[in-house]
Amino acid sequence: MAEFTMELNDEQKEVRAWLHGFAADVIRPAAAEWDEREETPWPVLQEAAKVGIYSLDFYAQQYFDPTGLGIPMAMEELFWGDAGIALSIVGTGLAAVGVLANGTEEQIGTWIPQMYGDATDVKVAAFCSSEPDAGSDVASMRTRAVYDEAKDEWVINGTKTWATNGGIANVHVVVASVDPELGSKGHASFIVPPNTPGCSQGQKFKKHGIRASHTAEVILDNVRVPGSCLLGGKEKLDERLARAREKARTGGERVKNAAMATFEASRPAVGAMAVGTARAAYEVALDYAKTREQFGRPIIDNQGVAFQLADMATSVDAARLLVWRASWMAINGKPFTAAEGSMSKLFASETAKKVTAQAIQILGGNGYTREYPVERMHRDAAIYTIFEGTSEIQRLVISRTISGMPIR
């Protein structure tokens, strides 16, 4: 087990510098254009693939970093560049995590490479869990997967929403109910291969922020996938469902489902994204305050501005510490006994919203215009308190964990 440390090693520092350079030289100059276009920035994805950032190898190296700091470090630097473009670059990762967390070795080796493609033919993947009537309330999921034993196929029907890369993905990872009576414990995850009949894009959303990232509904109309596309395999699913039914009968401990395992693994990473956006806004505000003069002196000479910046810097550092702790715990198999993963996402998400708002205030009228990036950063920051578990859901998870009570 790697010891927890606040100091990056030399290799990690080199990777961070490399990512920061890409974010500064490639992502930031393109940010305003793709925000306005509200389209997937395929040219930037291709550049990221050419240098090895958008690839299975890079993601795996960071994911399996024994210190746990590879993923949060990478997320922070990319989202420092721009949240919308960065989400287009890393959005495939959520689907990849779903396969890594729940799939067999054969499934991992077969499907994750197809999620990324290569530098000459870039692909993306989508993780599809939320539904129009089942976002935070995952137990209300209506998408059904029914096993056709005669053909060894699963038949999936339903509608998914808020899916990053939904409909344009080469590979979709879909969470569906296989036993509605078990609620969220009766869910399983499935691979929907490329060009599968019945899988199509529904409404594409026009969003407040992260507009360079494609978000859409995914329609599943009698989608048939081979039995081998059930993540983890049917034997493992049958065993899990049997345990869940027994626990439900006896009132025993909870059984985690595949979607929840994916979200638990990804929450500190989302926190790191929020840290990157918050840090970017803080740095813009700091530079502006040191150079903008009013009444014959830089505005940072005023305590009202300087103290805001002090609070912003403190909050960003505190958020990073919580994210790093949770990431280290996750990679080293330490249980989140106090919901540390949810803590990291909650605090970092709220920090991003607050810090980007403070940055606009420090820039004044300039901050409210699109001539300065803090306006876009503030719009982007709003998503962190919503996706992959709202702030309210994080507080529910934390309060249940620390109290041991079924708080509603």
**Helix, strand, or coil (residue 158):** strand
Class of residue 10 by CB neighbours under 10 A (exposed 0-12, middle 13-18, buried 19+): exposed
CA–CA separation, 92 vs 329, rounded Å? 24
Cβ-based neighbours of 260, under 8 Å, separated by 6 or more: 138, 184
Cβ-based neighbours of 322, under 8 Å, separated by 6 or more: 271, 340, 343, 344, 347, 348
CA–CA separation, 125 vs 114, rounded Å? 8
CA–CA separation, 216 vs 165, rounded Å? 7
Kind of pairing between the strands at 153-164 and 144-148 = antiparallel
Neighbours of 198 (CB within 10 A): 15
Active site residue 131: no
CA–CA separation, 375 vs 366, rounded Å? 9
CA–CA separation, 124 vs 169, rounded Å? 5
The number of angstroms, rounded, from the C-alpha of 113 to the middle of its chain's C-alpha atoms is 19
* Annotated active-site residue in 47, 77, 350, 388: 388
Please work out, in degrees rounded to the nearest 5, the angle formed at the alpha carbon of residue 105 by the alpha carbons of 99 and 108.
35
**Helix, strand, or coil (residue 222):** strand
Rounded to whole angstroms, what are the CA distances from 181 to 18, 139, 153, 237? Answer: 50, 10, 22, 15
The token duo for 387 is 């996706």
CA–CA separation, 344 vs 318, rounded Å? 9
What residues are labeled active site? 388
